[in-house]
Chain A
Amino acid sequence: MHGFWRRPAPLFLTVCLLIYAISTATAANFVDGDVDAGRTLYWYGLNHQGEPVTATAQGDIKFSGTQFSCVSCHRPSGFGSSEGGHYVPPISGPKIFSPAEADRVERFKEMFQESQPSSFWAQVREPRLRPAYDENTLARALRDGINPKGEQLNPVMPRYDIGDRDMANLVAFMQTLSADIDPGVEQSVIHFATVITEDADEAAGDAVFQTIQTFFKWMNKDTEGDLDHPTFSPGYRSTFLDAYRRWELHVWKLTGAPETWPGQLAEYYLQQPVFAVVSGLTRGPWKRIGDFCDQQRLPCLFPNSELPRLSDVEYGYSLYFSGGLALEASALASYISQLPQRPEQLTQLWHSDPYGEVPAKAFARAMAELMPETVVESQAYSDVDELHATLARMAASSNKGGLVLWPGENIATTIHTLAQSGLRASLIALPSNALSAAKNVFVDVMRERAVFAHPYELPSRYHPRKFRVRAWMHSRRLKVTHPRLQYQTYYALTLLQYGLVHLLSDFHRDYLIELIEHEAENRLNPGTHPSLALGPGQRIASKGAYVVAIDPGEKGGIKALSDWIVP
Chain B
Amino acid sequence: MARTRQSQVSHTAALAALLVAVSFVGSINAGQRSDGGHIHHAAHDNPTSQAANGQAKMPSYTRTVGDYAPPTVNLTDSQGSEVTLSELLSHDQPILMQFIFTSCATICPLMSATFARGQSALTATRDGYRMLSISIDPEYDTPKRLAAYAKKNRAGDHWTFLTGSQDDIGQVMRAFNVLYQSDNKMYHRPYTFLRARSDSPWIRIDGFLTVSELVAEYSEALHSANASLN
Taking Cβ atoms with an 8 Å cutoff, the residues of A that contact B are 56-63, 66-68, 72-73, 75, 81-88, 115, 117-120, 122-123, 144-147, 150-156, 159, 518-519, 521-523, 531, 533, 535-538, 543-544, 563-564, 566
For the complex, give the distance between the alpha carbons of A146 and B53 in Å: 9
Whether B44 lies near A156 (C-beta < 8 A) is: yes
Which residue of A is nearest B101, CB measured? A535
Choose one: A68, A146, A522; the contact of B109 (CB below 8 Å). A68
B188 at the interface (CB under 8 A from A): yes
Main secondary structure of the interface of B (DSSP, over half): loop
B63 at the interface (CB under 8 A from A): no
Choose one: A159, A521, A566; the contact of B183 (CB below 8 Å). A521
Whether B184 lies near A522 (C-beta < 8 A) is: yes
Whether A67 lies near B54 (C-beta < 8 A) is: no
Which residue of A is nearest B114, CB measured? A61
For the complex, give the distance between the alpha carbons of A84 and B208 in Å: 12
Whether B106 lies near A60 (C-beta < 8 A) is: no
By CB atoms of chain A within 10 A, which of B47, B53, B187 has the most?
B47
Q: List chain A residues, Cβ under 8 A from B140.
A: 533, 535, 538, 543
Choose one: A66, A84, A118, A147; the contact of B47 (CB below 8 Å). A147
> Can you pick out 30 interface pairs between chain A and chain B where the beta carbons lie within 8 Å of each other?
A59-B54, A60-B211, A61-B114, A61-B210, A67-B152, A68-B113, A72-B109, A73-B105, A73-B106, A83-B105, A83-B106, A84-B106, A84-B189, A115-B187, A117-B45, A119-B44, A119-B45, A119-B46, A144-B54, A147-B47, A151-B49, A152-B50, A152-B52, A152-B53, A156-B110, A521-B184, A533-B137, A538-B140, A543-B139, A566-B142
Whether A145 lies near B54 (C-beta < 8 A) is: yes
Whether B182 lies near A120 (C-beta < 8 A) is: no
B230 at the interface (CB under 8 A from A): no
B212 at the interface (CB under 8 A from A): yes
B107 at the interface (CB under 8 A from A): yes
For the complex, give the distance between the alpha carbons of A122 and B189 in Å: 19
Choose one: A63, A83, A151, A523; the contact of B186 (CB below 8 Å). A83
B94 at the interface (CB under 8 A from A): no
For the complex, give the distance between the alpha carbons of A21 and B114 in Å: 42
Q: Mark B27-56, 1 if CB is under 8 A from A, else 0.
A: 000000000000001111111111011111
Q: List chain B residues, Cβ under 8 A from A66.
A: 152
Which residue of B is nearest A538, CB measured? B103
Q: List chain B residues, Cβ under 8 A from A151.
A: 47-49
Choose one: A153, A522, A536; the contact of B182 (CB below 8 Å). A522
Instruction: List the 8 closest A-B pairs by CB distance, nearest first.
Output: A117-B45, A119-B46, A68-B109, A83-B106, A536-B105, A535-B103, A543-B139, A119-B45
Whether A63 lies near B182 (C-beta < 8 A) is: no
In the complex, number of A-B residue pairs with CB atoms less than 8 Å apart = 169
For the complex, give the distance between the alpha carbons of A363 and B95 in Å: 40
Whether B113 lies near A59 (C-beta < 8 A) is: no
For the complex, give the distance between the alpha carbons of A521 and B185 in Å: 8
Whether B188 lies near A57 (C-beta < 8 A) is: no
**Given that A67-B152, A68-B113, A536-B103 are known contacts, is A123 also in contact with B46, CB under 8 Å in the complex?**
yes
For the complex, give the distance between the alpha carbons of A33 and B36 in Å: 57
Which residue of B is nearest A82, CB measured? B106
A79 CB to closest chain B CB (Å) equals 12
**Given that A60-B212, A63-B113, A84-B188 are known contacts, is A119 also in contact with B42, CB under 8 Å in the complex?**
yes
Q: List chain A residues, Cβ under 8 A from B43.
A: 119
For the complex, give the distance between the alpha carbons of A543 and B46 in Å: 38
For the complex, give the distance between the alpha carbons of A58 and B58 in Å: 10
Whether B46 lies near A67 (C-beta < 8 A) is: no
Which residue of B is nearest A71, CB measured? B105
Choose one: A58, A63, A84, A119; the contact of B187 (CB below 8 Å). A84
B116 at the interface (CB under 8 A from A): yes
Whether A60 lies near B210 (C-beta < 8 A) is: yes
Q: List chain B residues, Cβ under 8 A from A543.
A: 139-140
Q: List chain B residues, Cβ under 8 A from A523.
A: 182-183
Q: List chain B residues, Cβ under 8 A from A150.
A: 49, 52
Q: List chain A residues, Cβ under 8 A from B113.
A: 57, 61, 63, 67-68
For the complex, give the distance between the alpha carbons of A57 and B22 in Å: 13
**Given that A68-B109, A152-B52 are known contacts, is A535 also in contact with B208, CB under 8 Å in the complex?**
no
Q: Mark B97-115, 1 if CB is under 8 A from A, else 0.
A: 0000101111101101110
Q: List chain B residues, Cβ under 8 A from A62.
A: 117
Q: List chain A residues, Cβ under 8 A from B101.
A: 535
Q: List chain A residues, Cβ under 8 A from B105.
A: 72-73, 75, 81, 83, 536
B6 at the interface (CB under 8 A from A): no
